[in-house]
Amino acid sequence: MYTAKESRYEKMVYNQCGESGLKLSAISLGLWQNFGFKDSFDQMEEMCHTAFDLGITHFDLANNYGHPYNGSAEENFGKILDHGMREYRDELCISTKAGYEMWPGPYGDRNGSRKYLTASLDQSLKRMKLEYVDVFYHHVFDPNTPLEETALALDNAVRQGKALYVGISNYNSQQTSDILTIFRELRTPFVLNQPSYSILNRWIERDKLKDFAAQEGIGLAVFSPLYQGLLSDRYLSGIPADSRIGKGSSWIKNDLTEEMLVKLNQLNGIAGSRGQKLSQMALSWVLRDGKVTTVLVGASSSLQIKENVEAVNKLIFTDEELNAIEEIIK
């Protein structure tokens, strides 16, 4: 039976989630990849234990995680909780999402209806054997459902005691502003937007979402901070056969050009001068200015989690380092 390390809170950084009272570990564990039906349960359990032992308190899931079987990541996480982690439930921040295709028919298709969101959350709670999740997100903006309906469904989850806070994911700044207005009228505890963001993916800067969230007191939980692994040392010399791109499971394979390889190696040089691996610097860069609450990291081993957590030790960049990074990626 698992027993958490007593030293788990000694080194991790915990950031205030917008203007709420909720704090999240600066590094969070995302269960999108490697927690599915066909993955090693022993390995996924070891990764969760390692994460918590290192002070990671935020575990991020979604109804459709666990390829090729939707829901299997939540089922596996429920089993991991049963094996000793459930004892620490009040020390964990568990989030899940609904919005993408989940089950056959119009009520489980990609949408933001009250029907879908309510049913999906009930299913998620059952799979994880939880009375509530800490954060329930709408996973992707739905232009075919009135935004008020989506907001009311999320608000209702809180009023029913099935979620403590709500969030949105993959919403741009205007969509975020629109739903924020509704949430404020409802007095819904809306605390997070979960967008993609990395050194190589700057859309939340161009869209002004990053600044808007900071101004309005909304936390940002960033996914793909390593740009699907490109911002690690795995691709500095090409494509390993056992990598996501090598297995044909990543959408960024066309980005790995000769020009990109040059940029990655230049970025790796800056990381080395900072005493970091490229992946660690990429995570530190996302967290550098305090506008991002937490970065969601995926992992295929406990070693990767241990390496990623080290990023919180070097969050300060010199102007020269920041300028050099901008010059490389422009």
- DSSP for 205-240 reads HHTSHHHHHHHHT-EEEEB-TTTTTTTSGGGTTS--
Amino acid at 320: E
Task: Tell me whether residue 108 is in a domain.
Answer: yes
- Calpha distance 95→79 (Å, rounded): 16
Task: Tell me whether residue 183 is in a domain.
Answer: yes
Packing angle of the helix pair 258-273, 319-329 (nearest 10 deg) = 170
Give start and end residues of each alpha helix (H) in the chain: 41-53, 72-82, 114-128, 147-159, 173-186, 203-206, 209-216, 258-273, 278-287, 302-309, 319-329
Strands 294-297 and 27-30: parallel
Q: How far is CA 246 from the centre of its chain?
A: 23
- Calpha distance 27→57 (Å, rounded): 9
Task: Tell me whether residue 152 is in a domain.
Answer: yes
DSSP conformation class of 91: G
Task: Tell me whether residue 32 is in a domain.
Answer: yes
Terminal CA-to-CA distance of the chain, rounded, Å? 50
- Calpha distance 108→140 (Å, rounded): 14
Q: Judge whether 325 and 47 are in contact, CB under 8 Å.
A: no
DSSP conformation class of 119: H
CA neighbours within 13 Å on the CB side: how many for 138?
31
Nearest-5° Cα angle at 45, 41 to 49: 175
Q: Give, for 191, the enclosing helix (H) or strand (E).
A: strand 190-194
Q: How far is CA 59 from the centre of its chain?
A: 8
Strands 23-25 and 27-30: unpaired
Residue 174 structural domain: 14-227+289-300
Q: State residue 254's pLDDT score.
A: 77
Q: Judge whether 223 and 194 are in contact, CB under 8 Å.
A: yes
Task: Tell me whether residue 213 is in a domain.
Answer: yes
Token code pair at residue 317: 């960049």
- Calpha distance 196→74 (Å, rounded): 22
Where do we find the tokens 């999906």? 120
Task: Tell me whether residue 118 is in a domain.
Answer: yes
DSSP conformation class of 196: B
Can you give the CATH number for the domain in which 98 is found? 3.20.20.100
Nearest-5° Cα angle at 289, 288 to 293: 85
- Calpha distance 246→33 (Å, rounded): 15
Domain count, the chain: 1
Neighbours of 39 (CB within 10 A): 17
Nearest Cα to Cα of residue 74 among 31, 42, 114, 112: 31
Q: Could you read off the pLDDT tens digit of each residue along the chain, which spans 330 residues? A: 899 999 999 999 999 999 999 999 999 999 999 999 999 999 999 999 999 999 999 999 999 999 888 999 999 999 999 999 999 999 999 999 999 999 999 999 999 999 999 999 999 999 999 999 999 999 999 999 999 999 999 999 999 999 999 999 999 999 999 999 999 999 999 999 999 999 999 999 999 999 999 999 999 999 999 998 899 988 887 666 555 554 555 566 678 888 999 999 999 999 999 999 999 999 999 999 999 999 999 999 999 999 999 999 999 999 999 999 999 998
Task: Tell me whether residue 174 is in a domain.
Answer: yes
Task: Tell me whether residue 7 is in a domain.
Answer: no
Could you give phi then psi for residue 136, rounded to 5 degrees? -115, 120
